[in-house]
Amino acid sequence: ETGVTQTPRHLVMGMTNKKSLKCEQHLGHNAMYWYKQSAKKPLELMFVYSLEERVENNSVPSRFSPECPNSSHLFLHLHTLQPEDSALYLCASSQERNNEFGKFFGPGTRLTVL
């Protein structure tokens, strides 16, 4: 296990459900990220938080809502998702937003939307 943890590891939800993904980093990093990894597609950056402030939102649908209450915790709130949202959702952190030393990823949450 890395210094970035994610819960739950697996999630199955219906299109009308509301759920949240949680990420916690124990590395003292200042930046946190949400990525989506779908089969046969490159990693897609969804959100970037730097010092608890959202600095980037890559045209993500509003059914995904991030929250960063402090520099160690990051949430992704999900509601009225679509089956095409089924994917591996990865949280990552880096020392600084300019990412000079790369990112450390959590184990991911495998999401299935029925």
Burial level of 29, CB count in 10 A (0-12/13-18/19+)? buried
Closest CA to 74 of 102, 101, 53, 88: 53
Smallest separation, CB 21 to other proteins (Å) = 14
- Could you say whether residue 53 binds other proteins (CB under 8 A)? no
- Could you say whether residue 29 binds other proteins (CB under 8 A)? no
Specify the residue, 17 or 105, whose C-beta has the smaller distance to other proteins: 105
- Could you say whether residue 69 binds other proteins (CB under 8 A)? no
- Could you say whether residue 66 binds other proteins (CB under 8 A)? no
